[in-house]
Amino acid sequence: MKFGLGLSVQHALDDSQAGRFQEHLEQVRLASAVGFDSVWASQHYLSAPFSYFQPIPVLSRVAAEAGTMSLGTGVLLLPLHHPVDVAEQLATLDVISGGRFIFGVGLGYRDAENRAMGLDPRNRVGRLTEGLEVIERLWTGEPVSYAGRHFTIEDVRISMPPQQRPRPPIWLAANADGGVRRAAQLGDAWLMNPHTTLETLGRQLVLFRGTRKMLGKPPAAEIPLIKECYVAPDRARAVREARPFLEAKYAAYREWEQDKALPAGESFASDFEALARDRFLLGDPARVREEIARYRERLGVTTMVLRVQWPGMEQAKVLRSIRLLGEQVFPHLR
């Protein structure tokens, strides 16, 4: 298996944002030293009650600390952007990273973000589908003309293609079954979200694979999964230390109505034990190893992106978790 570090780009508004960003650089340096394979940054706008570092500038700076780690957007909300801009920005990031960029892309679910950008939320799927098509064509480095419902360009050639040929891999995130089918059609992999239980992920993975087969596409080479994860010397301590920060984050998700984007039968329970069950990886190194192995065996996961910090959590605990993962968890799973 390969393992990625999902940076917690959300922070409390009264924190020193400059200080928190320096902590991210320290986290990436340690992750590189202890054997993480990639580093990821996500995207949201209007993120009250938290601040939010945007992924492209974050990853551009982080590249200097990442060594041989790949860089990934986990995920970039493509419907909020113009594909020419995204194609140029991410091609630059691929070159900066030495051809080690992974394009994690998502639909988004918050109407407030779309409206703030002057966009109709009902057009999200169309803008995602057209945007991906335009970006893939632009990444060839050849002139592109395109006339769609949402985007029209004529004889456009981006200034620099990505280093990877034919292009960086596209991992499409999805929650609902319709999104999983779309990921099978448009992406190289389905980037599984951290909020859905193992049973539902297993059912949806069957759907993803069946859709690819029906479309005549080869099986996905990667099965990536994002997970909330916290490792401490013993399980009780891990739960005790992580709980207040995870509870606050998922309370904000409920305010954002993110649970409405989940598959049928899934929700963000207000009871922490119910919320954590089959969602979070919390425990001592042995326990976390067992849980990761369970996901590998049940789903065939090849890459697991681990988010080890949540708004307000102090740096010393984050670094301890990263070190325990690299030294006492990963060696048993590779």
Domains present along the chain, CATH in parentheses? 2-332 (3.20.20.30)
Q: What was the pLDDT predicted at 275?
A: 75
- Return all residues near 282 (Cβ < 8 A) that are at least 6 apart: 229, 230, 235, 238, 239, 242, 276, 288
Q: What was the pLDDT predicted at 270?
A: 62
- Return all residues near 206 (Cβ < 8 A) that are at least 6 apart: none
Nearest to 103 by CA among 187, 195, 9, 10: 187
Q: Tokens 């590249």 sit at which residue?
A: 63
- Dist CA 306 CA 194 (whole Å): 9
Q: What was the pLDDT predicted at 273?
A: 79
Question: pTM for the complete prediction?
Answer: 0.95
Q: What was the pLDDT predicted at 257?
A: 64
- Dist CA 202 CA 208 (whole Å): 10
From first to last of its 334 residues, what are the pLDDT tens digits of the chain? 999 999 999 999 999 999 999 999 999 999 999 999 999 999 999 998 899 999 999 999 999 999 999 999 999 999 999 999 999 999 999 999 999 999 999 999 999 999 999 999 999 999 999 999 999 999 999 999 999 999 999 999 999 999 999 999 999 999 999 999 999 999 999 999 998 889 999 999 999 999 999 999 999 999 999 999 999 999 999 999 999 999 988 887 777 766 666 676 666 666 777 777 778 999 999 999 999 999 999 999 999 999 999 999 999 999 999 999 999 999 999 9
Between β-strands 50-52 and 10-12, what pairing exists: parallel, antiparallel or unpaired?
antiparallel
- Dist CA 99 CA 189 (whole Å): 18
Q: What was the pLDDT predicted at 128?
A: 98
Nearest to 2 by CA among 32, 30, 38, 28: 38
- Dist CA 150 CA 82 (whole Å): 10
